[in-house]
Amino acid sequence: MSSNLLPLRVLVKEVAADWCDLAGVETTLRTVRVTDLDGQRADPLRLALREAEDRVIAARAAEPAHPRPSAEWHELADRAAAAIEDALAYAARIGGATADPGDGRRHKMYAQTGSIVRGCVTLAGLRQDARFLDVVESTEAVAESLRVMLLGAPPRYQPISTGLTMAQVAQHLGLSLRTVQAYRLDGRLPEPTMVGRTPTWTREQIDEWQTTRPGQGARTDLR
């Protein structure tokens, strides 16, 4: 089965490689060819991803203890996590049935790329690297460019959702992402529409919830 490899190429060479650089993890991701997903031509990419994943795991295990990051750094890490999840979801959908067979599944290379990036986000966040925000914003830009690409793709590749992700809900409400995540875990948010593994809500859903939710404007748990 054929697959559109441009999004994977972008994820590997512009997102995963940037985060590895930030985390100080040496890889060959920028130089490896992205020419196939399942054929023998994919062997160099498979090897590069496996080596990068192993090095990220080893770097995390060897990382000395750090003071607990501030709430601001947690929010930056949450932004990074949301951006990479969006980028992975959009890229896999553009890639077609080989990359995104459905039911929330993705080709192993997309999963490996996500694992590498998330590990590097943790490493760079622990170190509070001054370049962290730049790479977060770069990842968000890639996710947005892939979203635009998806919307302009052939009809068989439908947009993931017109709903809001958790990060977008947080921005819409003026809350931190951690607060919104806590609301969802507590069952206080409306029931989301799941797009793969990503929960989404319509703007109308969130606006209605915001105006009618218990405790709006005053605490009710003390009565």
For the chain, percent of residues with pLDDT exceeding 70: 88
| H runs (alpha helix) in the chain | 6-10, 17-23, 43-62, 71-95, 108-127, 132-151, 166-173, 177-185, 203-212
Residue type, 214: P
User: How far is 8 from 10, CA to CA, in rounded Å?
Assistant: 5
How would residue 218 be classed by pLDDT, with cut points 50, 70 and 90? Answer: very low
Range of weakest confidence among 63-77, 92-106, 145-159, 161-175: 145-159
pTM of the model: 0.67
Predicted local confidence at residue 197, as pLDDT: 57
Q: Where are the domains of the chain?
A: 6-151, 166-212
Per-residue pLDDT reduced to its tens digit, 122-167: 999 888 888 998 999 889 888 888 888 887 654 443 444 567 877 7
Instruction: Tell me: pLDDT of 103 over 80.
Output: no
Three-state DSSP state, 156: coil
Instruction: Tell me: pLDDT of 1 over 50.
Output: no
